[in-house]
Structure 1
Amino acid sequence: MPLIEPEWAKRYGRKVQIGKVPGGKAAVRECAEEFGRDGQKLLAAAWAADAPSRLRMLRQVEILRQVWIHQYHCDREGYLRWREGTALPPTALRFDSPYDTDAHYCVKRDVEWSGYRVHFTGSCDQDLPHLVVYVATTIAPVQDGQPTDKIHDDLATRRLAPAEHIVDTAYLSPAHIERDQRVHGITLLGSILAGNSRQAKAGSGFDKSAFIIDWDNEQATCPRGATSASWTKLHISGHTDFQARFADSDCRPCLDRARCTSSAIRSRSVAVLPRLLQRDPDA
């Protein structure tokens, strides 16, 4: 039985744009799963016992194998199914084109693209030429703030570390401020991202800034004078934070509960940075 079927010439003889298949979503899925079965047939032949082992070492075959892992799965009955939506692997793990396996899909606010993310560092000294001194390229899903430390490490290696570095909010965090000042003597300048709690966004109620933090005694004091009942160490995104939680016996009868928390059951908790990171870097 021939491996290549006559219908394949019609099916793949021209560029396929699966999103333009007539018949709606069901027709698109049917078409995608037909493609999947064809690809599965090729992969099965490449991994057959009598197939030359060098066939499986070809880059094209390996890319096909990875694409099929990303895009398809077998259901309980053993039928090949097309992955959609949340069934797909994270964008950082799946490439978006067999022609460029480093290109990944990404969405930033209202912009969608497939490819990379590029970070430029330039000089802005007065009375001197403004030059691009460093370019960092990452896969698209890497968030803007993630390369901050590496950018400064590389600049320092090239003896280009600035005394001050003005950055966008996304590149700035208390951890970056502390680390880059300590390791490279770089002062990061920019606007810290505003609090994203309900209270901070609304500009009313008790956001984090309304609480007094006592690191020595590992306690937080709320605006009504109650002290936290627990202090828990957390590890978030590679950094150590703390969570101060208040007792139910203090929160439930509190007259300001609605201004403090929207939960009808749980008591208020506050995320706290380590003392060194919480301190104002300009102080």
Structure 2
Amino acid sequence: MRILVTGRSGQVVMALLERSALVPGVEVIALGRPDLDLEDTASAGAAIAAVRPDMVVNAAAYTAVDKAEQESALAFAINRDGAAAAAAAAARLGAAFIQLSTDYVYPGDKTGAYVESDETGPLGVYGQSKLAGEEAVKLAHPSPLILRTSWVYSPFGGNFVKTMLRLGKERAVLNVVDDQIGNPTSALDIAHAVLRIAPGLPGGGTYHLCGSGDVTWYGLARETFALSKSLGGPCAEVKPITTAEYPTPARRPANSRLSMDAFAARFGFRLRPLQEALAETVSRLV
């Protein structure tokens, strides 16, 4: 099976390349700029047509949440129009299509975990562009699989866990937001899930794909440093602060918890518990 994943160095891209090496009969091809540029819809379609994959995983995206507030046109060009072009190219080939989306499509004002049928309501441009991408993909492909994930971390690229470990080497005390809660998700586990469902993917739908276990950013920082300390790595004291004490250009959802029940019911598995998945990433980084 040939899987084309958009992007070259993103967390999910790198995880798919690594994990696919362990799966016989699966070839993952990563294509990013300049060969496949989601900002250039024509090039995106041509690149996918040239590879002729059995499946396309759209992992590339505009993800600069704060910067998107000033670059809305670019965010929509990549996250909506580029995603639609990739989906349309896959449809022309008769290839399956997976669109990776985000918890930021929700407003974050729900008490419990979000389910797929809950009303969306992005707070900022990034979430708005990703939600628009979901809708555009549905129009461009007959049966896309949309996977909303959250708080992605891994040994690759830039992410919260890597940032904490870097800052832990530089500072003795760190202030971290404690009134935003979500499901940290390992990109390695996202890759595992995609590779597991890819061969028998019967059709589309919208599902949550996230780590098992919820925590605040403050709690995730503490977990990260506890694991790091046990391995002889960097460790800093973490103090909780509120979102109001750490203002950013873009508003973040206070509650990003996602229920994975629907995904588990359809595909028969869940992602690993936070402690187990986080331990793998921290150990590799340390």
Normalising by the smaller structure, the TM-score range is under 0.3
TM-score computed with the length of structure 1 as normaliser: 0.23
Q: Which structure ranks higher in relative contact order (CA pairs < 8 Å, sequence separation ≥ 6)?
A: 2
Bigger radius of gyration: 1
Higher-strand-fraction structure? 1
